[in-house]
Amino acid sequence: MDLGIPIRELQQRISSSEFVEYMASYQIDQRGGHYDDLRAGAITSVLANIHRDRERQPDPFTNLDFIPWNEHHRAAHDAEPVLLDDPEAQSRLIDQMMFPKRQ
């Protein structure tokens, strides 16, 4: 997620529950680095398919063929989300998962 300001400054400006809302919005709207990678993979797959040797590579390339993390991404996508009733507890959980060394 890129809001254009450093994380420390962001932590001073908004509450942790508002930060969680931003994270959810980014997942729903499909913004962020991994979606940029998917878009770049789409462009790369078009170029690769234009120059593909159809005898050696009969199946067309897809965008996932050019994204090294795709297996990890699919496994993470299939996982059930952990949703807590308390927004502050949810924020602490996210903080612990994103920044484990700070604990």
Domain ranges across the chain:
32-102
Is the model more confident about 38 or about 2? Answer: 38
Is this model's pTM higher than 0.75 or not?
no
Structure confidence at residue 24 (pLDDT)? 79
Please tell me the distance from the alpha carbon of residue 61 to that of residue 50, in angstroms, as a whole number: 10
Please tell me the distance from the alpha carbon of residue 50 to that of residue 44, in angstroms, as a whole number: 10
Structure confidence at residue 48 (pLDDT)? 94
Determine if residue 30 is left, alpha or beta; phi over 0 gives left, psi from -120 to 50 gives alpha, anything else beta: left
Q: How far is CA 7 from CA 32, 36, 79, 91, in A?
A: 16, 21, 27, 14
Tokens of 79: 């996982």
The per-residue pLDDT of the chain, averaged, comes to: 80
pLDDT of residue 2 exceeding 80, the answer is no
